[in-house]
Chain A
């Protein structure tokens, strides 16, 4: 617990996309709750994949970067904005939720 300071931390990552996601209805996966997170995937102009994280667990930027980098390696989407509201989910849950969200993208 001592590692977790109060207040939200915001992290942003941008990756150059490879696979255009096209136009699709925004997808929401998960719920904001203790140990859980909410992932919103929306179409965005341009060819990047931008990921914005708001998390209640501060100080884990290095792990977030590795998690979203691996996510982008699995799904090199282009033209996508991913918004994450996290309440202390483990990396395993984050990865699972991201994969669930992407699997629901239907042009």
Chain B
């Protein structure tokens, strides 16, 4: 992809090559879904997570947005693998901003991801 474009850091470039984690999970009692953002505003995401023994054992995303946003969604599916409700509840968009070198004008798009993650935490099964 655009390996020489200075607007995108190495993690964004790496993620955009494969977009690992893209897709969906088959419906099930152990699968949570959260949707956030608005395509008209330029960023929309659906996160799906399979929970077993209180932990996220499988995550998928679908996203509409800029390369930073798509890459952040992909990155998130790895970052939150194995995490529990507490980690989801306190996850902060700044972590993605740092890891993916997201420029400040795009910080608002990461808040869309945070909204989806926090919604998942709110719907987490079990105590």
Q: Do A and B bind each other?
A: no
Q: Give chain B's interface residues, CB within 8 Å of chain A.
A: none
